[in-house]
């Protein structure tokens, strides 16, 4: 295992919307009551009502636009609105309306997946998968057989499993009983001779919501795995939880081959430094901002901060309530083993140049001293000597004369070739191992066929790497191993029936070189669907009853871990039902009565510690786990997804999987997961200038020590968010430097260190910080904080926190904290009591919002109605757990459109829509575009039912799904050219597809859909067709019309009403 140095990383960018009334979506405890009249026509306050004030504030009315496609559009239902829409709110005295958005809306998007809440099942002809609340209990685990089961050998020639006789002339494999013990195995509980990892010790920390330092190292690293001595040294090595090969098992006695750095100072930012000792919080002078070249900017795709200027005063920053943090996507834009944005630097015999105190990598923002013979670190201020063979004279501006020819001095992102002292074992080959549920449910749904198709499609690309290794295990109520030795004419299946003590029948032939065994691997893939076509083992009915034996997911995972433990790699788990046999068996704990209550959050946390314990062990062994879930019933996603959460893997969810409906999405997702750029055996650390630290992390990872992220796999889609916190009352630095370092092994077998560095200027004016806010980045961070609160204390508290934070940010900005001259509060060293008093004052009614905060009210309301924290009982447990996990791993472009989806009008789009911007019209216009060819998109509409028309077609994207809403009165000519259907009556909507070749119009519609998908490479956005009046399907679509009313406490306001509610809160009046 390998690690970077101390501290942490960044994010940001903006956009536009607003709206009008609608309808109530759902009823607690049941399906969405889409056509029911709301209980109250008068909107209720979001929070407990206060005493009514006799006078209403005289707010200034913001202008509204009545132009098509503009935001706004009046109150009340549209002409001819259906009866289910709520009556318009009674006119109150001069209720303020939202401010006008800016003209153009630049957007970018995310990934989540459509799921079904509880409610009435759709018709058999189409729609969405049924909810199917399973009765209690899946099958109980099988009891251990009385006689020792045997390992059975099968040949897969001809696509069926034929038993192999075990006579002298049989294959060179000896049939062995489980009780007899396999050859070359260690004692019971060991893993191929390796000491078994401890199971009782709990790991430190949590995902995202804060963590505790590791009290002691978690188990022993396998031979050759440890912390490279050059990546970090000194006392930090113990905090990282990394073992040196052959070293002692306690961090106090870790061997450090680099004694010059073994000083007595602490690298822990929370531990005070002794007088005169070197340390990150020492008093060495830092580079001045005028000495830095701020024209060198880090690509925001790699690092992006929520503010572009940070205030020096901790008190002022806390009073502003602005979420301070960063979004880090270290491998953004990678293709294969290259990235066009990043230069590779090899220091050769010189060695990588780093600060000897804080271990910061050399970067463009350091300064030079003694005519270029020494350089000052911009993180801790220490002066470091320049190696003689790296010396260069300075120019008249104090910069090196060779600066432009050295990427590490002129580029914010660079990659260093890691020398041998950054390795504790040779770089390992890329390993792909598949653990496949072959129960009756997997075969019947078509999952097995789709999986085989996706792997076969990826084999050619994977085999381009001559080092790549591959292996397979399948399971139902038994575990099936596959001998893929290159010398075999056909693969052999070996069955182990004792899942209580699974052995490895052929340890050396279960993981093979793909190039050598490609023919045998392809033969296995061809045979798999037929081999289990009539399988009845492991089947379960939708209610969880024992219709068969159940599935032994845990024993299969443990067997895969033993196969992969010496190399690490990527493990892909395919699961079609709730695990029910052996270790890792789960219970049916979904309780519809808890949905929408203050106890719902208990279902969103993992119940069985087995998954977390083994996930941390997988991480220690450098194994990342990708989880693919397909069950039509409850599958306890909150627990099973822990496997990917702590191993830097990914969870994919296809509820009630159908090959016809979901096959294309699943095949795309699996193919991308196998072929996208991937860093193996990675660790990442993010540093910041003294005075700033990173308090929380969000994403899929495991924290070692206090700030080292262990990432067995880091991909081009991996994204991490970090909360920034002050360590000093007043920052001494004039600029905060943030540096993220990722140490990893490329798929080509090279050890690399990717370094991203950015600078955030420090300002004495909190006004400047407020004005520099990146609202999209801030909402990304705030949404992840809200999810953490929801998982700990419930959705109501999460929504309250979002609303209250919004009120306090706006109040601070409008009452002088962000508008008035900050000099009235005194200099850096003065008390801020006066500022606090003014901050509490109510803003004037006509005080405008700062430009950076114009979208904050809209995004705040949207987040409160988002699936991750919305109230009511229409979001199933697995669905909510999936979207919460998804949001934790979203970058800014993804979260922006997930929180506030985009809706387009298709039926009336102009002739230039769907064509590349370079070939149609002026590039300077505000028309939104998507995709690498900048395909023009239709104008963006408000997310309200008022915008829908029965004679129209509307397209919506939320970054995870695409929805096409089709009115009942659409022109038959449009239906014919788009779908080859003159009418959609009695048509199965799951079979529809856009016929791009029919006409210019249909080809441009298809181009718009393709362009939106190309912006969301991480996951395939499936297009769902919604017919007007299709009960459940339309109700599901309605959940994303967030400017309308929702039927839960805190969500029963339209956007206009919510904006008025905010203004009342700012004025200190009851809502």
The answer to whether 244 and 227 have CB atoms below 8 angstroms apart is yes
Predicted pLDDT of residue 899: 96
Mean pLDDT of 720-743: 95
Q: String of b and e for 850-867 (b: at least 16 CB within 10 Å)?
A: bebbbbbbbbbbbbbbbb
Report the distance separating Cα 936 and Cα 587, nearest Å: 50
Q: Tell me what pLDDT residue 146 has.
A: 44
What's the mean pLDDT in 108-118? 38
State the Cα torsion 196-202-205-206 to the nearest 10°.
90
Distance CA 970, CA 949 (A): 9
Residue 507 or 451, more confident: 451
pLDDT of 849: 85
pLDDT at 100 > cutoff 70:
no
Name the H helices within 327-446.
Answer: 407-410, 440-445
Please report which confidence band the pLDDT of residue 116 belongs to, taking 50, 70 and 90 as the band edges: very low
pLDDT for the residue numbered 228: 54
Residue 764 near residue 311, CB atoms below 8 Å? yes
How do 310-311 and 751-763 pair as beta strands? parallel
Q: Does the pLDDT of residue 280 top 50, yes or no?
A: no
DSSP assignment, residue 587?
-
What is the model's pLDDT at position 1031? 86
pLDDT at 253 over 90: no
Q: What pLDDT score was predicted for residue 338?
A: 84
What pLDDT score does 876 carry? 94
pLDDT band at 422 (very low <50, low <70, confident <90, very high): confident
On the question of pLDDT at 705 being above 50, the answer is: yes
Q: What angle separates helix 892-899 from helix 775-793, to the nearest 10 degrees?
A: 70
* pLDDT at position 397: 86
* pLDDT, tens only, 427-437: 999 999 999 99
Are 729 and 337 within 8 A, CB to CB? no
Mean pLDDT of the chain: 77
DSSP for residue 859: H
State residue 258's pLDDT score. Answer: 33
pLDDT digits (tens, 9 = 90+) for 1008-1018: 999 999 999 89
d(CA 614, CA 571): 13
Alpha-carbon distance of 737 to 358, in angstroms, equals 13
DSSP state of 71: S
How confident is residue 508, by pLDDT bands cut at 50, 70 and 90?
Answer: confident
* Long-range contacts of the stretch 76-82 (C-beta < 8 A, 24+): 76/20, 76/21, 77/21, 77/945, 77/946, 78/945, 78/946, 80/950, 81/945, 81/946, 82/23, 82/35
pLDDT in tens, 584-597: 999 999 999 999 88
Residue 675 has pLDDT above 60, yes or no: yes
Q: What are the start-end ranges of the H helices in 889-951?
A: 892-899
Q: How far is CA 184 from CA 54, 192, 196, 506, in A?
A: 85, 7, 15, 10
pLDDT score of 125 more than 60: no
CA 357, CA 722: separation in Å to the nearest integer?
A: 24
How many Å apart are CA 445 and CA 121, to the nearest integer?
18
Is residue 305 within 8 Å of residue 781, measured between CB atoms?
A: no
Query: How far is Cα 1046 from Cα 1028, in angstroms, rounded to an integer?
Result: 19
3-state helix, strand, coil in the chain (%, to 5): 25, 15, 55
Strand partners, 760: 736
User: Residue 1024's beta-bridge partner residues?
Assistant: 963
**169-175 long-range contacts, CB within 8 A, separation 24+:** 171/488, 171/492, 173/483, 173/492, 173/494, 173/505, 173/506, 175/150, 175/151
Output the pTM of the full model.
0.77
pLDDT score recorded for residue 154:
65
**β-pairing verdict for 492-496 and 151-155:** antiparallel
- What pLDDT is attached to residue 832? 43
Mean pLDDT of 711-733: 95
Per-residue pLDDT of 936-981, as tens digits, reads 999 999 999 999 999 999 999 999 999 999 999 999 999 999 999 9
- Average pLDDT, stretch 565-591? 94
pLDDT surpasses 50 at 626: yes
Mean pLDDT value of segment 721-728: 95
**Which one is predicted more confidently, 1047 or 17?**
1047
The 8-class DSSP code of residue 603 comes to G
8 A C-beta contact, residue 712 and residue 568: yes
Q: Predicted confidence band at 349 (pLDDT cuts at 50, 70, 90)?
A: confident
* Residue of 624, 650, 669, 647 lying closest to 451 (CA atoms): 669
pLDDT for position 339:
87
Asked if 111 contacts 1016 with a C-beta cutoff of 8 angstroms, the reply is: yes
Helix (H) or strand (E) holding 107: none
Kindly state the DSSP code that residue 148 receives in the 8-state scheme: P
Per-residue model confidence (pLDDT) at position 1066: 86
pLDDT tens digits, 66-91: 333 333 333 333 333 333 333 333 33
3-state secondary structure of 400: strand
Q: What is the pLDDT of residues 604-619, one digit of tens each?
A: 999 889 999 999 999 9
**In this model, does residue 281 exceed pLDDT 50?**
no
Would you give the DSSP letter of residue 853? G
Position 455 pLDDT exceeds 60: yes
Tell me the residue ranges of DSSP E strands in 265-322: 303-305, 310-311
Mean pLDDT of 1019-1029: 94
CA 372/CA 525 separation, integer angstroms = 61
Tell me the C-alpha distance between 360 and 279, whole Å.
13
User: How high is the pLDDT of residue 801?
Assistant: 95
> Highest mean pLDDT: which of 26-35, 467-476, 532-541, 600-609?
467-476
What is the C-alpha to C-alpha distance for residues 1060 and 4, in angstroms, rounded to an integer? 49
């Amino acid at each position: 295992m390998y690690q970077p140095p101390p501290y942490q990383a960044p994010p940001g960018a903006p956009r536009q919307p607003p709206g009008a009334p609608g309808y109530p979506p759902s009823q607690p405890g049941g399906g969405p009551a889409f056509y029911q009249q709301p209980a109250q026509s008068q909107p209720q306050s979001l929070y407990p009502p206060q005493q009514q004030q006799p006078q209403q504030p005289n707010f200034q009315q913001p202008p509204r636009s009545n132009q098509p496609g503009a935001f706004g559009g009046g109150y009340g239902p549209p002409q001819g609105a259906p009866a289910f829409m709520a009556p318009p709110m009674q006119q109150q005295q001069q209720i303020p309306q939202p401010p006008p958005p800016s003209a153009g809306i630049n957007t970018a998007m995310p990934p989540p997946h459509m799921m079904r809440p509880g409610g009435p099942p759709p018709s058999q002809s189409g729609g969405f998968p049924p909810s199917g609340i399973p009765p209690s209990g899946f099958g109980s685990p099988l009891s251990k057989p009385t006689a020792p089961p045997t390992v059975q050998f099968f040949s897969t020639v001809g696509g069926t499993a034929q038993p192999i006789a075990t006579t002298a002339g049989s294959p060179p494999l000896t049939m062995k009983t489980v009780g007899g013990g396999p050859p070359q195995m260690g004692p019971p509980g060991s893993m191929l001779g390796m000491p078994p990892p401890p199971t009782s010790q709990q790991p430190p920390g949590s995902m995202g919501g804060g963590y505790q330092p590791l009290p002691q190292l978690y188990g022993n690293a396998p031979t050759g795995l440890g912390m490279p001595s050059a990546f970090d040294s000194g006392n930090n090595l113990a905090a990282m939880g990394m073992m040196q090969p052959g070293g002692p098992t306690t961090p106090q006695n870790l061997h450090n081959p680099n004694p010059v750095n073994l000083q007595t100072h602490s690298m822990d930012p929370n531990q005070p430094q002794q007088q005169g000792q070197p340390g990150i919080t020492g008093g060495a002078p830092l580079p001045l901002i005028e000495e830095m070249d701020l024209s060198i900017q880090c690509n925001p795709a790699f690092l992006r901060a929520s503010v572009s200027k940070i205030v020096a005063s901790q008190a002022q920053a806390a009073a502003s309530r602005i979420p301070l943090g960063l979004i880090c996507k270290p491998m953004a834009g990678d293709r294969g083993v290259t990235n066009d944005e990043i230069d590779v630097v090899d220091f050769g015999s010189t060695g990588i140049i780093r600060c000897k105190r804080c271990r910061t990598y050399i970067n463009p923002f350091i300064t030079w001293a003694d005519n270029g013979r020494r350089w000052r670190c911009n993180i801790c201020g220490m002066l470091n000597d320049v190696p003689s063979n790296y010396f260069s004279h300075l120019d008249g501006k104090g910069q090196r004369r060779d600066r432009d020819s050295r990427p590490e001095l002129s580029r914010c992102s660079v990659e260093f070739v890691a020398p041998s002292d950054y390795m504790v074992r040779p770089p390992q080959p890329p390993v792909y191992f598949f653990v496949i549920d072959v129960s009756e449910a997997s075969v019947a749904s078509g999952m097995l066929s789709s999986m085989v198709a996706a792997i076969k499609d990826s084999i050619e690309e994977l085999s381009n790497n001559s080092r790549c290794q591959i292996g397979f295990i399948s399971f139902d109520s038994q575990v099936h191993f596959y001998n893929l030795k290159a010398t075999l004419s056909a693969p052999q299946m070996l069955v182990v029936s004792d899942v209580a003590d699974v052995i490895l029948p052929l340890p050396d032939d279960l993981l093979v070189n793909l190039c050598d065994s490609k023919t045998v691997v392809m033969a296995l893939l061809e045979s798999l669907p037929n081999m289990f076509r009539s399988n009845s083992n492991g089947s379960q009915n939708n209610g969880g009853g024992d219709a068969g034996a159940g599935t032994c997911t845990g024993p299969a995972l443990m067997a895969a871990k033993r196969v992969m433990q010496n190399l690490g790699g990527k493990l892909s788990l395919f699961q079609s039902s709730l695990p029910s046999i052996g270790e890792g068996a789960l219970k049916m704990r979904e309780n519809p009565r808890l949905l929408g209550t203050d106890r719902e959050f208990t279902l969103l946390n993992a119940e069985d510690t087995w998954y977390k314990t083994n996930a941390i062990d997988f991480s220690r062994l450098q194994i990342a786990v990708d989880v693919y879930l397909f069950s039509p019933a409850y599958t306890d996603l909150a627990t099973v997804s822990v496997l990917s959460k702590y191993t830097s893997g990914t969870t994919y969810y296809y509820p009630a999987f159908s090959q016809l409906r979901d096959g294309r999405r699943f095949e795309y997702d699996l193919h991308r997961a196998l072929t996208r750029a991937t860093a193996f055996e990675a660790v990442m650390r993010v540093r910041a200038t003294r005075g700033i630290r990173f308090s929380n992390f969000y994403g899929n990872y495991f924290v070692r020590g206090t700030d080292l992220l262990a990432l067995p796999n880091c991909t081009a889609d991996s994204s991490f968010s970090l909360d920034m916190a002050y360590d000093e009352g007043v920052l001494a630095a004039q600029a905060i430097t943030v540096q993220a370092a990722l140490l990893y092994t490329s798929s080509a077998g090279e050890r690399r260190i990717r370094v991203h560095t950015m600078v955030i200027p420090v300002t004495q004016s909190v006004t400047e910080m407020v004005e520099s806010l990146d609202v999209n980045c801030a909402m990304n961070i705030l949404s992840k904080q809200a999810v953490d609160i929801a998982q700990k204390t419930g959705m109501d508290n999460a929504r309250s926190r979002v609303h209250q934070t919004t009120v306090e940010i706006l109040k601070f900005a409008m009452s002088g904290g962000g508008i008035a001259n900050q000099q009235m509060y005194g200099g850096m060293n003065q008390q801020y009591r006066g500022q606090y008093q003014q901050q509490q004052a109510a803003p004037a009614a006509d005080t405008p919002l700062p430009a950076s905060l114009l979208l904050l009210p809209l995004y705040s309301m949207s987040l409160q109605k988002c699936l991750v924290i919305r109230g009511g009982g229409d979001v199933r447990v697995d669905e909510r757990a999936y979207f919460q996990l998804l949001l934790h791993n979203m970058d800014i472009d993804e979260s922006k459109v997930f929180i506030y989806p985009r809706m387009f009008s298709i039926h009336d789009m102009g002739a230039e829509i769907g064509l590349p911007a370079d070939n149609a019209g002026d590039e300077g216009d505000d028309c939104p575009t998507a995709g690498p060819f900048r395909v023009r998109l239709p104008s963006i509409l408000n997310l309200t039912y008022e915008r829908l028309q029965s004679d129209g077609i509307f397209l919506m994207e939320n970054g995870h799904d695409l929805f096409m809403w089709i009115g009942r009165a659409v022109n038959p000519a449009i239906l014919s050219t788009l779908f080859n259907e003159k009418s959609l009556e009695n048509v199965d909507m799951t079979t529809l597809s856009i016929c791009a070749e029919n006409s210019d119009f249909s080809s441009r519609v298809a181009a718009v859909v393709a362009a939106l998908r190309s912006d969301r490479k991480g996951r395939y956005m499936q297009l769902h067709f919604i017919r007007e009046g299709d009960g459940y399907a339309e109700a599901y679509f309605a959940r994303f019309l967030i400017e309308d009313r929702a039927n839960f406490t805190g969500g029963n306001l339209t956007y206009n009403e919510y904006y008025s509610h905010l203004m009342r809160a700012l004025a200190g009046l009851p809502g």
